[in-house]
Amino acid sequence: MSSKQVQKVLIVANWGKEEAHSLSATIKSYIEEKGIECTIWRTTVEQDKPIVAEDTDLVICLGGDGTVLYCARHLQTLGIPILAINLGTFGYITEISVNEWKEAVDRFLEGSYTLSRRLMIRVGVYRKGERVFTAHGLNEIVVSSSGISKVIGMSLKVGETPAGYFRADGMIIATPTGSTAYSLAAGGPILDAELSTLLITPICPFTLSNRPLVLSGDSLITLTIAPNQRTGIVLSVDGQQNFPLQEGDELIVEKSRSRTLLVTSEKRNYIEVLREKLNWAGGAAHA
């Protein structure tokens, strides 16, 4: 909740989606009629960094879950609430559908909104003791083969404790938000989005006893790429940032210092989103 007067709004529009063109202009006009400064950032490339004016009070994100991941990454140090509007129906992260944008914007401007503070993940890649790559994500980091599906070997450490050597098609380390993405497809559990936890999910592990592992959000996870790999290996963050790995590389994974602030929908909560997206039977039981 907030009673702060909103003065600046930025619309981040996925310009690859035709509907974003007209809707961004409509929302801009609506906000400017209320005497609030509003600009549009049109994005087509995930690596483009949006220009965010100082003292921006709200970012309205038009697109799908991928556009939210883009916003989360680029805004992660700024602490600006993101109001995500899905141009389809609604996504796992974008709870607000396109026909609900006006009331969602009004609620924010009136200060009668709720924020979901989502844990983010941070990864650093160390090569011969030197950090060669750093990235932040809202969903997950994935280590996998860059060749045709081949098993890779890596060792895992949680804190100072060795947690084993894994042979698998890859490894996913996800946030609760990311538990409904790639990790879910790989057999991981669904976590409540508000939790402060990290989730390790092996992808098609060679040993069937390798199971998903839910850890405290304060855990420090180290993944080391073993020698003698038979394939190239790549690190992917939220499916949007990729970095080629080498044998001996050490990945340090932990929660980010900052969180993504998502304006929640008044129409549906996280469980309702899961029920709809995963086709769970809803409603009262019939006799």
Catalytic sites, residue numbers: 65
- Token pair recorded at residue 79: 């602490």
Contacts of residue 174, defined as CB under 8 A and 6 or more positions apart, other chains included, come to: 121, 139, 140, 181, 182, 183, 188, 198, 199, 201
Task: Judge contact between 233 and 248, C-beta under 8 A.
Answer: no
Q: At what angle do helices 101-110 and 18-32 cross, to 10 degrees?
A: 40
Contact 264, 93 (CB under 8 A): no
Q: Which one-letter DSSP state was computed for residue 211?
A: -
Dist. CA 94–CA 84, nearest whole Å? 5
- Alpha helix locations (H) across the chain? 18-32, 65-75, 101-110, 182-185, 270-277
- Contact assessment for residue 175 and residue 198, using Cβ atoms and an 8 Å cutoff: yes
Residue with tokens 């304006």: 263
Single out the residue of 237, 255, 138 nearest to residue 197, CA to CA.
255
